[in-house]
Amino acid sequence: MASMFQKASNSLQGKSGSASNHGEGESLTTVLRTVEDRSALTMLICDITELMRKRLLDTFDANEAGSSESDLFAASEHQTKETDETGGLGDDTDYEDKQQNLERKQADEYAQREREVNEKCMVELKNAALDFFDDWRDSVILRIGKVVNDKAAVTREETQHSDPVTATSGDASSSVGMGLNEQESKVDERLREICTPVETPLRNLEEAKRALILHSLILLMLSLEHYNAHSRTLLLYCTISLGLSVKILSEDEGKVAKGLLSAAKHMSADEETRKRAEENSTARKWKMGVAGVAGAALIGITGGLAAPFLAAGLGTALGGIGLGATATAGYLGALAGSSVLVGGLFGAYGARMSTQAMEKYTRDVGDFAFVPVHKPGIGKGDASPRRLRVAIGISGWLRDEDEIVQPWNVFGGGLDAFALRFEIDALKDLGGSLNALITSLAWKFAKKEIIQRTVFAALMAGLWPISLTNAGRIIDNPWSVANQRAMKAGEVLADVLINKAQGERPVTLVGYSLGARVIYICLQQLAKRRAFGLVENVVLLGAPTPSSSAEWRRIRSVVTGRVVNAYSTRDYVLAFLYRTNSVQFGVAGLHPILNVKGIENIDISDLVEGHTLYRHATGPALGRLGFEDIDLHEIKQEERRLEKQEKEEQKQREEASKHRQYDDGLPAAQQNSPR
């Protein structure tokens, strides 16, 4: 069945045959026929970028707290107050004392935030982030303004298209969700909460015209010769503000990526360009890796500007998207005439993320590579799976090497998806030790004691049963080794992203357990090195990291889209593993991140009772939080695997009980012996 976007494109082309007859095709100027419409688009971009700038400023504003401890306290006290009123318990004096305590807590939190955001290092980070954003915003507004206000183009279009183009009014939002499945509607709903729609009269245009505006904006963003995380976030705001489904944006990105790659593949260079390529071949090798040069050469990298795209050729390559060939080439700018720029956008067509290209980054990490999740060549005529967005999934431990990639099959086809492979031996040792720990008798009986308290209270007070402390011999060394390797891998990952191995595309990072720690360290490094606009979204699940507001404020500053902390209050394994670390700043994987605006906290305690369950809970958690581009079929598979894993672990514990004696009346020396 044709996609909603294809239907919109066909509708637009059917209603504007006169434009096609003139060879120009549709463009922004044929849709935005009046000065008011063109001004509306310019104002929409200005309003959205101002909203994005405010969101960045909120990260460093002491008045913007996000979730706070006092909020949790207030909610608890409100519930208590309702119980007292209905049950006749308590008195007004107690409630007034609690209110005063709440006010003092709020004042203390504000003072702490104010001290934090006014520290010299935080002020410097804020200024650097704003400088980068302002430079990007200026380039975007200038580029869009130049096209929208091109008087020559407007005059030409008015002459060629004498028939009036009318827009239909009504409830523009009624078209959103048409043909969408439940998950896609959930994504739209969640993203409308995060990316507040901006009011614009352009919502009154028919859906086909709004879709064409969005497509034009994608090409204009690409004409900046990059598609950074800020550009993608801007387009997400535009999509929502125009009353379109995010699915349209994702499909549009896929069509553009395929069209650019198809056109670049058939580009041919003249003799002078070939000569220049030979002279520069040595310089290219260190940038892309020796293996990458050979592969990239097959699809037209020449080392210099290739012969310009023919407008008709581009129109064919990007066919079915509604824009005319001339407009398409014009909006892409220099990108439409250079296979080198196209190669740079896609990371030299994936070569820079090849194993060979990664070797120069692995000085301190014994094993570090990106493994493609989606096999190349899927689909007739689709020789490359490259997309305009990159996702990197990072597993936190391994039971076998297949688990490097398997958890990340949940990524959908709209992403150029990779799994990060690092330190396989250390992660396999950890996986085996985790399994031994959770199936041990020591863990079974200790858990009964721990569950009577909260996990974090046990962690802070060191209230661990002696039998379980002895069981630490099973896990402590493998955990310590893998933890250190994860920290090094995070530093390497930051270096890779800064050096644009992914090309000029936004990156989404998702990881569980030590995979989340890799991401945490990476983002801290990006903030330290003032590397902005690289990361679009981040999801950390069961993160064995501090929950310090200062650290997460730094993370928020280098991520333009969503920052999600998925935690479980029932993860006794993580609490035990973290018991020897400094816990004064809390543990992100056990509770919400507080006092930082823009951090999404998702409680998945019902999915994750133990740390080992994150392996199969990651997909269902992504579905729950409204993550873009996920494979619903694979998530259903993961839900079944999660249920199976829970049953298997329970069975292992029961079998261990049958083969070991455990008597509460045994002498203490026997109870405390290693098991």
Task: Kindly report, residue by residue over 333-379, the tens digit of the pLDDT.
Answer: 888 877 888 888 888 766 777 766 676 676 667 789 999 998 764 43
577 compared with 507, residue with greater pLDDT? 507
Provide, for the chain, the percentages of residues in helix, strand and coil under a 3-state DSSP scheme, each rounded to the nearest 5. 60, 5, 30
Kindly tell me if the per-residue pLDDT of 150 is higher than 80.
Answer: no
Dist. CA 328–CA 25, nearest whole Å: 9
pLDDT of residue 71: 58
pLDDT of residue 575: 83
Kindly tell me if the per-residue pLDDT of 414 is higher than 70.
Answer: yes
At 390, is the pLDDT very low, low, confident or very high (cuts 50, 70, 90)?
very high
Task: Kindly report, residue by residue over 448-476, the tens digit of the pLDDT.
Answer: 555 555 555 655 565 566 666 666 777 88
Task: Kindly report, residue by residue over 4-39, the tens digit of the pLDDT.
Answer: 334 433 443 344 343 333 345 678 888 888 899 999
Average pLDDT over every residue of 510-537: 97
At 442, is the pLDDT very low, low, confident or very high (cuts 50, 70, 90)?
low
- SS3 of 315-353: the string is HHHCCCCCCCHHHHHHHHHHHHHCHHHHHHHCCCCCHHH
Average pLDDT, the chain: 77
Question: Of the ranges 82-91, 291-300, 458-467, which is most confident?
Answer: 458-467
Average pLDDT over every residue of 125-138: 98
Burial call 308-337: b when 16+ CB within 10 Å, e when fewer: ebebebbbebbeebbbbbbbbbbbbbebbb
Q: Token digits for 216? A: 């034009």
Say which residues have a Cβ less than 8 Å from residue 427's Cβ, sequence separation at least 6. 395, 396, 397, 398, 482, 485, 514
* pTM of structure: 0.83
- SS3 of 556-584: the string is HHCECCCEEEEECCCCHHHHHHCCCCCCC
pLDDT of residue 310: 45
The structure tokens 């990197």 sit at 392
